[in-house]
Amino acid sequence: MKLNIQKSLLLIALILGHTSVSIASVLYFEDDTISTSSVPGALTLTGLDVQTTTVTSVTEFNNQLASQSWDLVILGEQNNNIFSSISGLDTYLGNGGSILGTTWLDNSGLSALLGASGRSGTNGTNIAIDSHPIFAGLSSPLMLANPGWGIFSSSWIASSSSQCLGTLGSGCAVVEGNSGNSLLLSGLFDTYNVSDGNILLSNSINYLLNGATGPVSVSEPGTLVLITLAMAGFFTRRMRS
pLDDT digits (tens, 9 = 90+) for 168-226: 999 999 999 999 999 999 999 999 999 999 999 999 999 999 985 544 434 344 444 44
DSSP annotation of 148: S
- Report the chain's C-alpha Rg in angstroms: 22
pLDDT digits (tens, 9 = 90+) for 59-91: 999 999 999 999 999 999 999 999 999 999 999
Question: What is the spatial distance between Cα 155 and Cα 104, in angstroms, rounded to a whole number?
Answer: 11
Residue 92 has pLDDT above 70, yes or no: yes
Q: Are 175 and 118 in contact (CB under 8 A)?
A: no
Spatial CA neighbour of 159 closest among 184, 136, 141, 142? 184
- In three-state form (DSSP H/G/I as H, E/B as E, the rest C), the secondary structure along 154-177 is EEEEECCCCEEEEEECCEEEEEEE
Q: Are 192 and 144 in contact (CB under 8 A)?
A: yes
> Do the Cβ atoms of 78 and 188 come closer than 8 Å?
yes
pTM of the model: 0.81
| Residues 29-55, mean pLDDT to the nearest whole number | 96
C-alpha 185/C-alpha 175 separation (Å) is: 7
Q: Does residue 127 register a pLDDT over 80?
A: yes
- Three-class DSSP category at 44: helix
Mean per-residue pLDDT of the chain: 86
Q: Which pLDDT score is estimated for 116?
A: 98
Q: Whose CA is closest to 86, among 118, 53, 63?
A: 63
Each residue of 133-169: pLDDT tens digit?
999 999 999 999 999 999 999 999 999 999 999 999 9
Question: What's residue 122's pLDDT?
Answer: 98
Q: What is the structure's pLDDT at 219? A: 38
